[in-house]
Amino acid sequence: MLRFYFFWIIFPFFSLLSQTVEEKVESIPLGERHLIEAFFNILLFKEAGAYVLFGDKPSAFVVYFEAEKESKRMVLEVTSRYGDVLKRIRSENWQLRRGWESWKKYRHLFPCHHWILEERPMPDRQGVEIFLLHKYNFIKTVEENIADFQTVLSPALTGEELLNQYKTKNYSLFNLLHKHHALLGILLGFGKRNSWLFYNRDRCYADPHTHNLTLRHTPSRGFQTLAQERYYYDHHLVPSFAQKRWKCFQLLYPPYFLADPNTSETEQLQKSYLEQRRYIHRAYQRETFLVATLRRLCES
């Protein structure tokens, strides 16, 4: 009798293991399957998460506002004269929120081994931040820039320790990084120099809408005045991929960030991401978007 009960307890477990990714996807009700697909489409294709899933980008993230705060927040951020833009933003926020809710119901079917895909409350508690992290590339990036992370966070910090903090604490990654934009940029795969240029740029502009940054009243080393420093940033930080080249990125955007185009770091990042983009396109040519995504996410 005990053997009989034991069989019926463990049978569903082994049945689940024997299912293919396609069968697991088909088992999700069609409406929720579409919501999950829309969520991953935004995270992977619009917010460059595909470069985390198939490339060497350490992390990517999306943010959505909770239902009761959505309308008020959107109206504050986009005025009525931009009605079409407002509708698109609201629609995308709805897709992220509903898609994430659906994903949480079925993610037990698709256990992640190399990646972390988790939600955290945003620092202002106005919404939810969802990060996709590649564990190995996350640790590797921290260790390659360990002096920066130890100077800002802790002299004894390691990449593995920072990853464990993210896994065990209900803090946003930005909060764990002490709201430091340079460290966040490095972990988003934007490059060390580019990330620090962005960090310094924001602190020499007296803009009240820059997320309550601590502004500087003296120029950084190498500049005689703040005006000279501002001029440098205005003429040396440009989008990572020129606008004229965006027509070929209609479905899969390249990682978008401000960069100094005249450095070997930026040139190498551009070359690397374009190569990864070709690989990602090939990965999605073989099967449907959701199956290819979840198959990769479940790789052991």
In a domain, 12, yes or no: no
Tokens for 219?
Answer: 């120029």
Separation between Cα atoms, residue 273 and residue 74, nearest integer Å: 32
| Number of domains the chain is built from | 1
How does pLDDT run along the chain (300 residues), one tens digit per residue? 545 444 444 444 444 456 899 999 999 999 999 999 999 999 999 999 999 999 999 999 999 987 655 544 444 444 444 445 555 557 889 999 999 999 999 999 999 999 999 999 987 667 899 999 999 999 999 999 999 999 999 999 999 999 999 999 998 999 999 999 999 999 999 999 999 999 888 777 655 444 455 566 677 777 777 777 777 777 677 777 765 454 444 568 889 898 999 899 999 999 999 999 999 999 998 899 999 999 999 998
3-state SS class at 189: coil
11 found inside a domain? no
CA atoms within 13 A on the CB side of 219: 13
Confidence at residue 57, expressed as pLDDT on a 0 to 100 scale: 98
CA distances from 264 to 209, 260, 267 (A): 32, 9, 5
Start-to-end Cα distance in the chain: 36
Residue 25 in tokens: 């996807």
Is residue 276 in some structural domain? yes
Instruction: Judge whether 162 lies within some domain.
Output: yes
Residue 13 counted as domain residue: no
Contacts of 138 (CB under 8 A, 6+ apart): 58, 59, 159, 162, 163, 187
Quote the pTM value: 0.82
Residue 247 is assigned to a structural domain of this protein: yes
- Taking CB atoms within 8 Å and a gap of at least 24, the contacts of 25-30 are 25/290, 25/291, 25/294, 27/109, 28/102, 28/106, 28/109
The pLDDT score that the predictor gives to residue 286 is 84
Q: What residue numbers bound the domain in which 224 lies? A: 20-297
